Structure 1
Amino acid sequence: MTDGTGAGVAAGGEPETSDSLRAFGEVVKAFRKRARLTQEEFAPRVRYSVPTIASIEQGRRFPPPDFVERAEEVLDAFGALRGAARHLSRQPGLASWFRQWAKLEAEAVSLNTYECRVVPGLLQTEGYARAVTFSVPPLPDAETMDQRIAARLARHDLLSTSRKPPTSFSFIVEQAVLERHTGGDAVTRELYDHLLDLIERNWNVELQLMPLRQPVHAGLDGPLRLAETPDNRWFGYSEGQENGRLISDPKEVSRLHQRYAKMRSQALTPEDSLGLLKRLRGTL
């Protein structure tokens, strides 16, 4: 799994708790006790397990968006949980070397991503994310897995067109990544449906597939990302196994821009990519 939440994260990249998470957990606990509910009584009402509730209240797990909404309703929290959730640190579930980029990503007005290994994290389904994690040893324990998945899914709200201003996304993904069928046919089918729905609903998301045969390819040096900040500065990011590097030097960023621009001309057009994706879906 890429995006700093992958399997095989080094010791220095293990998920950590944060003050904001602990504070959120205390707020949840206070409202739960105000409602005179035990964790065992509260859990089925929000459709999460008792261990998950305990982890959230202890500040050890990032609360998924649907948990926040259900808890808000069940506990009649008059908007307090939604408000607190907006200020949560996204550190848990993200490797330490990815957090600086994640902060830039959250504020960016433009994001360009080329990926040749797996589907980019912002486009992944939960099933696909779990399948990737289970593919790469060492396997995490259940709690660490849940933290990583929650952190991944929490970042998906960056794609929303309701953000002001909405971020402009460009993704270039190798066709081979989609045809690998990571996780099996059922996971792949769900992934295809998710991508098709996302592309057709979100006018700010552009997906291009790099065809299997491309004799001249500007991305042979590996994955890359580019982010434009609100003040129109550009940063790059590259990621390998158990490490990542934020790139701020203008000359290096310029080289990445040149490569990405070339790949956009080498990949299938967004329209042709959509057609290919539909054909791939039709084979399952």
Structure 2
Amino acid sequence: MSIQYGGLARILKFARAKSGLTQDQLAERLNVSTSLIAKIETNRVVPQSDTARALDVVFDSGELFQEMSAEARASSGGSQWIRPWLDYEEHATMVRSFELAVVPGLLQTEAYARAILRDAGTRVPDLDVAVATRIERARVLHRGEQACRLFAVIDEAVLRRSVGGPKVMADQLHAIVQACSLPTVSVAVVPASAGAYSGLNGPLALASVDGRTVGFLDDPLDGRVVEDPERVNALEEVWETVREYALPGRPSLELLMEAAESWS
């Protein structure tokens, strides 16, 4: 765990105590959960930029929390190459994604994320921090009127592959079904019967930020943000083509529920 990260936790606890705020009161000021404050103060979560910015406002600390959280995310949250994408994702109004092998990061449960990061050979300095940081990413889906819209397409293989064991899979798929009850979340499944299709070339994601769209491509060694307009347009065409192979809303939801029950 990084020095910056541990220092951030200590400074937050000190600032909160000096101001006379309880964790509940600070959470209310920031419009976040009390559990998030507790996790930040115990080195289990690195605050995202909007939370860090709000902390600086509450404690009149300039940009201290923003700078420390940026350093902590860079050194503790995972691979360096994904940081630019996570910054786009955090500020996106819409994310479109396709996953061939795993549940999209924005929809992963803690247990599923831990199993993926632990068992798939992902190189992270601190597993607990990496898991917590990944889970915190989902906050973009719960920002009220400013919530990010998510349109996720996943291959049926994602539903059938055992990650972490039957209970983890059942809980994960039920969590996806629950997420689909949000008006801003849509998940479509490409059935195994689709056969060969363009999605077999690999996962991709697109984020709409400040009136433009950027893409992200991942592979076993690293990943890269795609900003060139022509290449982004090409990725959008691929995503639209993949979506055409997916089942409509209700059949996709029924397949998700059937798969969840099969793991129970």
1:121 aligns with 2:105: yes
Q: 1:62 aligns with which of 39, 46, 65?
A: 46
| Cross-structure match for 1:184 | 165
Q: 1:29 aligns with which of 11, 14, 31?
A: 14
In 2, distance between residues paired with 1:138 and 1:110? Answer: 27
* Structure 2 length-normalised TM: 0.76
| Cross-structure match for 1:130 | 114
Q: Given that residues 63 and 150 in structure 1 are in contact (C-alpha distance below 8 angstroms), is that contact kept between their aligned partners in structure 2?
A: no
Q: Given that residues 161 and 204 in structure 1 are in contact (C-alpha distance below 8 angstroms), is that contact kept between their aligned partners in structure 2?
A: no
| Partner deviation per Cα, 1:204-228 (whole Å, 9 max, x = no partner) | 1110011112234121221111111
* Structure 1 length-normalised TM: 0.71
1:196 aligns with 2:177: yes
Gaps of 5+ in 1: 1-14, 36-45, 73-78
In 1, distance between residues paired with 2:187 and 2:35? Answer: 34
Give the length in aligned residue pairs.
235
| Partner deviation per Cα, 1:117-144 (whole Å, 9 max, x = no partner) | 2111110000101111221247867xx0
1:264 aligns with 2:248: no
In structure 2, relative to structure 1, the CA distance for the partners of 1:182 and 1:203 (3 Å cut) is: same
In 1, distance between residues paired with 2:251 and 2:196? Answer: 19
Percent of pairs identical after alignment?
26
| Partner deviation per Cα, 1:52-104 (whole Å, 9 max, x = no partner) | 96647xxxx6269xxx9xxx9xxxxxx659xx998443433132101111111
1:224 aligns with 2:207: no
* Deviation of the 1:181 alpha carbon: 2.2
- Give the letter aligned to residue 151 of structure 1: T
CA RMSD of aligned residues (A): 3.4
- Give the letter aligned to residue 269 of structure 1: P
Helix, strand or coil for the counterpart of 1:213?
A: helix
| Greater share of residues in helix | 2
In 2, distance between residues paired with 1:184 and 1:121? Answer: 18
* Deviation of the 1:163 alpha carbon: 4.5
In structure 2, relative to structure 1, the CA distance for the partners of 1:85 and 1:62 (3 Å cut) is: farther
Which moves more between the two structures, 249-258 or 132-141?
132-141
Helix, strand or coil for the counterpart of 2:194?
A: coil
Q: Given that residues 98 and 153 in structure 2 are in contact (C-alpha distance below 8 angstroms), is that contact kept between their aligned partners in structure 1?
A: yes
| Cross-structure match for 1:212 | 192
Gaps of 5+ in 2: 21-33
- Give the letter aligned to residue 99 of structure 2: E
In 2, distance between residues paired with 1:204 and 1:184? Answer: 29
| Cross-structure match for 1:94 | 78
Q: Given that residues 78 and 123 in structure 2 are in contact (C-alpha distance below 8 angstroms), is that contact kept between their aligned partners in structure 1?
A: no
Which structure has more relative contact order (CA 8 Å, sep 6+)? It is: 1
In 1, distance between residues paired with 2:124 and 2:8? Answer: 26
| Cross-structure match for 2:88 | 104
* Deviation of the 1:172 alpha carbon: 0.6
Helix, strand or coil for the counterpart of 2:137?
A: helix
- Give the letter aligned to residue 250 of structure 1: P
Q: Given that residues 239 and 245 in structure 1 are in contact (C-alpha distance below 8 angstroms), is that contact kept between their aligned partners in structure 2?
A: yes
Q: 2:230 aligns with which of 247, 251, 254?
A: 251
